[in-house]
Amino acid sequence: MDKELLRVVIILLGVLVMIGMLLWHFFKSMRERRENDYFDESGYDELEDEEFSLGQSEFSPSTMVDGDALLDEDEIKPVRQSDAYRQSKTEIPKSAVSRHELPKLIEFSLVARADQGFNGEELFDAFDHLHLEYGSVKVFERVDKQRMVHFTVASMIEPGTFPDTDLENFYCPGIVFFMQPREVDSPLAVFDDFIETIDLLAEDLDGVVWDNQKQPLTAETIAYFRDLLAQK
């Protein structure tokens, strides 16, 4: 074969190869473009909506807090036990509580601060000063003009009696006060005398007043009983 002809054939084959490669890349690009054009976006849209909805539920308005809606610290007022009691009692008419619904017994105590307790002679002097009478059952009583007992004061040592002799050698850790609201004509008036007597003895004998739970007697507890007895 002529050398010149062979060179022309080689050039033509190279051109054909280049044209084939170009056509192959062209058709491949067209195929990929068509596949992208026919891509179903519904699944993507559904997934995107689901993720968005989850995000919205996590930060929904019900769990968001408006800082402007928060109460100022000065506006927050604690509700005390006595306040809550008064609020609940305002719904109960006075006629709703009968004598039989009053507590059977109110019991408070006076405990000595001193380690040796209360001395017998000091107790008798203090009781006499407050016109408490030493009764036949060897306890002290508040008695009215009709000889009706309003309340009783007993020793904290069993059986609760006070000796009538050798008082200088008698000591007790405390004394106990008993009142029966159902057995008196004016429960509230008797209760006020009951509390006043305890307070005066606590000051005179240097003692601490306890309620029936052996806890310091509070103004709230006193107010509770006064309110209850006032509805009789």
Residue with tokens 């891509």: 39
Residue with tokens 């006075």: 94
Q: How many whole angstroms separate alpha carbon 114 and alpha carbon 206?
A: 8
**Confidence (pLDDT) at 129:** 97
- 68: three-class secondary structure by DSSP: helix
> Which H or E element spans position 208?
strand 207-210
Does the 91-230 domain belong in CATH 3.30.470.20?
Answer: no
List all residues 6 or more positions away from 135 whose beta carbon is below 8 Å from its beta carbon: 141
Q: Are 102 and 109 in contact (CB under 8 A)?
A: no
Q: Are 229 and 181 in contact (CB under 8 A)?
A: yes
Token couple for 200: 């005066």
List all residues 6 or more positions away from 121 whose beta carbon is below 8 Å from its beta carbon: 167, 168
Per-residue pLDDT of the chain (232 residues; tens, 9 = 90+): 566 666 666 777 666 767 767 776 666 666 655 544 443 444 434 433 433 333 333 333 332 333 333 333 333 233 333 343 333 333 334 444 566 789 999 999 999 999 999 999 999 999 999 999 999 899 999 999 999 999 999 999 999 999 999 999 999 999 999 999 999 999 999 999 999 999 999 999 999 999 999 999 999 999 999 999 998 6
The 10 Å CB-count burial string (b at 16+, else e) for 61-95 is eeeeeeeeeeeeeeeeeeeeebeebeeeeeeeeee
**Confidence (pLDDT) at 164:** 92
DSSP structure string for 84-123? HHHHHHTTS-GGG--GGGS-S-EEEEEEESSTT-EEHHHH
- Residue 70 has what DSSP assignment? S
The 10 Å CB-count burial string (b at 16+, else e) for 5-44 is eeeeeeeeeeeeeeeeeeeeeeeeeeeeeeeeeeeeeeee
Q: What is this structure's pTM? A: 0.58
List all residues 6 or more positions away from 164 whose beta carbon is below 8 Å from its beta carbon: 134, 138
